[in-house]
Structure 1
Amino acid sequence: MAEVAVSPKARTRPVKIKKNQIPYAASVLVVIVIAGIVLGAQNPKLGLMWVFGSALGFVLQKSRFCFTASLRDPVLTGSTSLTRAVLIGLAVATAGFAAVQYSAFLKNPAVIPGNINPVGLHTAIGAAMFGIGMVIAGGCASGTLMRMGEGFMQQWIVIVAFIGGSVWAAHDFGWWEKAMIHNAPTVWLPNVIGWPAAVFGQLALLGFLYWLADWYDRRKNKAL
């Protein structure tokens, strides 16, 4: 059997030993618990929000969840795992919001919870601007916050630009309201096509997109 030649540098290269991260994790957990107790003593809602926020951050970091990656990965790597995760999240949100809104609709059809806003050219412009910003920044809002916690300095610069852009948008919102949003139609699917078609039609569309993403992933991986 032929021997594989190994360079002297490879034989003498020191092996990096990973540091034990458990003490750091325990310290962070203690800080989180203490902060939760302090916030909960001031206001129970603050304590609850702190718990849910910490749990959500942990899940985001472990799952590497990012809306930008869900749209970028199919093009760059052919992977649609995050794309399918986003579609599942949208399906769960669709079912949940439909239940909440329909129960409110039965009580008072004139008052529907949720932000039902006008849709028009301003929606397309905003989506395009945000999409370009996400690609340049390398992450969406959730991905940026998650990577900030991991210590990526680029994302600390991104969050400053993110806040600056939000302030600028709030400053100019009055102009957009008068120029485009005010005259744009408000479309709420249950009013247009009815509750069954709106809810189950959206779930069917998300299911089809999930199947399409899964097929695309298997096709790309098979090609590789």
Structure 2
Amino acid sequence: MEEEKIQRSTRTRAPRKPKKNQIPIAIVVTILVVAAGVYLGLGSEKLPVYWIIGLCFGFILQRARFCFTASVRDPSLTGSTSLTRAVLIAFAVTTIGFTAIKYGAYINGQEIPGMSSVSPISLPLALGAVFFGIGMVIAGGCASGTLMRVGEGFTMQMLALVFFVVGSFWGAHDMGFWDGVFNTNAPKIFLPDVFGWFGALVVQGLIILLLYIAARQWQKKKMGTAD
């Protein structure tokens, strides 16, 4: 009886299609990448550098399967927090780097980079965070994850990218209204103003450390292992 089932399954199983040779595609893409870099270099010496950094960044994201959506989604769906902890480590490293850059500008009497982008704590910020979180989980990717999967040919992410752009344009168009109604008197918190530069670094480091420990314990509880 078992032999008949095996024979029947082997008969109905469709033969595997041979894999297509992707070397010609790789050659064409490489030529296009180099040509794009040369073209950008005609306009500015910095653009080819940005082009190379962007390509390397995208390659690393694709190979590492790094996605901010998965870092906040996986703990609820699968219990895994490996990506969550990876994001927290990335936050810790960038905290040190950005603090050094900002503090260097501060002690030299220069304008602190990024001060204009400190967002006020207001209703639009809270609503935007919630809506963006819902949207990126439904779409299956954040900004970086969507771009990465568009490059891989996923139709869902192509559609998400279109509405991502539409939403960004819409938000930029209405930003003046939201600033005037909700953000004028909303508080802005810059941690060095509250705790000092060293204190802000310690406070943020402790928050990241506590979140890392909590993520590790969560995975241990849900999956029986913290690795």
What TM-score, normalized by structure 1, do the two folds share? 0.89
Match of 1:39 in 2: 40
How big is the shift at 1:20?
4.3
Match of 2:217 in 1: 215
| Aligned amino acid, residue 121 of structure 1 | L
Residues 183-210 of structure 1: per-residue CA shift (max 9 Å, x gap): 1112111111112221011112112211
Q: Distance in 1 between matches of 2:224 and 2:122?
A: 40
Match of 2:6 in 1: 7
Match of 2:182 in 1: 180
How big is the shift at 1:4?
7.8
Among 156, 159, 162, which residue is 2:161 paired with?
159
Q: Distance in 1 between matches of 2:190 and 2:99?
A: 12
Match of 1:206 in 2: 208
Match of 1:87 in 2: 88
Aligned-partner SS, 1:117 = coil
Which shows bigger deviation, 17-26 or 158-167? Answer: 17-26
Which shows bigger deviation, 116-125 or 76-85? Answer: 116-125
Report sequence identity in percent: 50
Residues 156-207 of structure 1: per-residue CA shift (max 9 Å, x gap): 1111111111111112111111111111112111111112221011112112
Cα RMSD (Å) of the superposition? Answer: 2.0
Match of 1:191 in 2: 193
What TM-score, normalized by structure 2, do the two folds share? 0.88
Matched, 1:112 2:112: yes
| Aligned amino acid, residue 106 of structure 1 | I
- The gaps in structure 2 that reach 5 residues or longer are none
Match of 1:52 in 2: 53
Match of 1:168 in 2: 170
Q: Distance in 1 between matches of 2:178 and 2:49?
A: 36
| Aligned amino acid, residue 6 of structure 2 | S
Q: Distance in 1 between matches of 2:81 and 2:41?
A: 40
Match of 2:101 in 1: 100
| Aligned amino acid, residue 154 of structure 1 | M
How big is the shift at 1:117?
3.0
Which shows bigger deviation, 158-167 or 100-109? Answer: 100-109
- The gaps in structure 1 that reach 5 residues or longer are none
| Structure 1 residues 78 and 17, CA gap change in structure 2 (3 angstroms) | farther
How big is the shift at 1:7?
2.0
| Aligned amino acid, residue 170 of structure 2 | W
Aligned-partner SS, 1:194 = helix
Q: Distance in 1 between matches of 2:19 and 2:8?
A: 21
Q: Distance in 1 between matches of 2:21 and 2:207?
A: 46
How big is the shift at 1:23?
4.2
Aligned-partner SS, 1:7 = helix
Residues 34-56 of structure 1: per-residue CA shift (max 9 Å, x gap): 22122123321221111111111
Aligned-partner SS, 1:183 = coil
